[in-house]
Structure 1
Amino acid sequence: MDDDTSIHDQVYEALAESLIQGQIPPGKSVSLRTLANELNVSPMPVREAVRRLIAQKALELQPSNKRLRVPSLSENRLLQLMTARQWVEPELAFLGAQKITRDVIVELKNDDERLMAALSKGDVDGYMKANYAFHFRLYNLAEADLFLDMARTLWLQSGPFMRVVFGRLGTVQLPQDHHQELIKALETGDHAAVRQHMAEDVHEGMELMLEALKG
């Protein structure tokens, strides 16, 4: 891999992480130059990363001023995201469960402990990072690159709006996640239950986003 390719990939990953963690709020305009300055790189790799994120519908270019922003989220689009996540992520969890190891279960428990600690402190950044780590630690075991790419694209599109949920509901009002039940199913080798608990976890999170959007 040459240096240019490495820089392009690093810039893309940095911007994708910002979107997944909701650090670029919906509706806020940003310029290529601003993003380049924040990442301490030239505009060229940022431009390439932005093209990829626009293709993934995580960003859009505003025709009026050529600035970037997270696309607005309609109820129809949110329902599509909910349906797509409920198709893809339980299947990734099911496939990942078949390759689970004791060490990964320990790491998943640590992720969930960090998630619950962040919830109790109202730490939005900590919650979102731990939640992403939990899900994709399991998904990465699945050896299903197509499904994994689909899941990541869906998180790119929904991440900024999870911030809206926190802003309107606060972390203390979030429901109990299904991670602990899922971990128990992993420990007992009940792969069907892993799929079910992941579906329930995704559904509840997306329902909260729907309530926040309507509110």
Structure 2
Amino acid sequence: MDEPHRAVPHHHRLEFALIVDAQKKSGLGPVDLTTVQERVYQTLRLGLLKGEFLPGETISIRGLADVLGTSPMPVRDAVARLIAERAVEQSGPRSLRVAPYVAAEHEAYIRIRMQLEGYASERAALTWKDPDLLERLREINRSISEASDAGDFDSALAGNQAFHFEVYAAAGLPPLLEIVSTLWLRTGPILASARQDDALFERLFQIGVQIHDDAIEAIARRDGAAARRAITLDIRASHFSIRRFVKRASGEPNAGQGSSRGAKSVPASRGRALEQA
């Protein structure tokens, strides 16, 4: 059964207003402002990647339109595209639901990500040409470490995303980057939901920073196999930690398994929950 429709709270207005700037810093490229529909789509897409929406949350289209300062029509158009990408589901004529966590589906996405992102990392290590790449990666990784130490997990999460897409962009295969970005849409919300557990996130980033260092060194010496190992290990380590979190949060050893229709989703953080419309 779907949760009650929830509108986007007023305190998210500033967050959404800053998303365009965050997009430029994220490594995913600038927002295309040619049409309102495209701008809304890119904003919602980045919101999913950044964890503004959590697995299983039901959100009113009118609430999103109010936050984004537009009519519901561009939001509906953007939602239709996100439905096609399986990032969200239509939960009613005036609402959408972020895809719930389903263990079997998530496992499949992780396996695909390991293959594709491992390949992108290997190719990047073998073919990178930008003389500033290594310094950018080191600076991003330092920023992740500093943010994690300060308990600023939102910034650490954004830095982690920027690091990965900086590496993948260096592979020089824009279609691959687009596919990987779509897969992140489907796995991003569940990672963001684990921000309820500060200790878990602190461990995730401590381990992740070390693995990123290994990836940087592999890229520096153009060792494609080592770069692939580092990135796939990073993905796998995060996946195992998130899977443990899901089981604890649901109270069921096999929580989330089965079809997404009627699947039990991970409880959203009430501190970040969307207010009742």
Take 2:114 and 2:230, find their aligned partners in 1: how far apart are those partners?
11
Please state how far the C-alpha of 1:67 moved relative to its aligned partner.
1.5
Take 1:4 and 1:110, find their aligned partners in 2: how far apart are those partners?
29
Gap runs ≥5 in structure 2: 1-31, 249-277
> Does structure 1 retain, via aligned residues, the 8 Å contact 2:61–2:94?
no
Please state how far the C-alpha of 1:4 moved relative to its aligned partner.
8.4
Whether 2:104 is the aligned partner of 1:104: answer no
Residue 130 of structure 1 is matched in structure 2 by 159
Residue 35 of structure 1 is matched in structure 2 by 64
Structure 1 segments, 4+ long, off by >4 Å, are none
CA RMSD between the two structures? 1.8
Take 1:53 and 1:32, find their aligned partners in 2: how far apart are those partners?
13
Take 2:193 and 2:58, find their aligned partners in 1: how far apart are those partners?
16
Please state how far the C-alpha of 1:102 moved relative to its aligned partner.
2.6
Please state how far the C-alpha of 1:171 moved relative to its aligned partner.
2.4
Q: How many residues were matched structurally?
A: 212
Per-residue deviation, residues 95-148 of structure 1 (Å, max 9, x unmatched): 222124330111111111111111111212101110111111111122323322
Residue 197 of structure 1 is matched in structure 2 by 230
Gap runs ≥5 in structure 1: none
> Does structure 1 retain, via aligned residues, the 8 Å contact 2:33–2:39?
no
Take 1:140 and 1:12, find their aligned partners in 2: how far apart are those partners?
22
Q: 2:243 aligns with which of 198, 210, 214?
A: 210
Whether 2:125 is the aligned partner of 1:94: answer no
Residue 212 of structure 2 is matched in structure 1 by 179
Opposite residue 189 of structure 1, the aligned amino acid is: R
Whether 2:71 is the aligned partner of 1:78: answer no
TM-score (norm: length of structure 1): 0.91
> Does structure 2 retain, via aligned residues, the 8 Å contact 1:78–1:210?
no
Opposite residue 176 of structure 1, the aligned amino acid is: I
- Structure 2 counterparts to residues 136-147 of structure 1, below 5 A: 136-147=165-176
TM-score (norm: length of structure 2): 0.72
Take 1:100 and 1:202, find their aligned partners in 2: how far apart are those partners?
25
Per-residue deviation, residues 3-41 of structure 1 (Å, max 9, x unmatched): 985322221111111100111122221111111111112
Residue 194 of structure 2 is matched in structure 1 by 165
SS at match of 1:60: strand
Q: Which has the higher helix share?
A: 1
> Does structure 1 retain, via aligned residues, the 8 Å contact 2:64–2:75?
yes
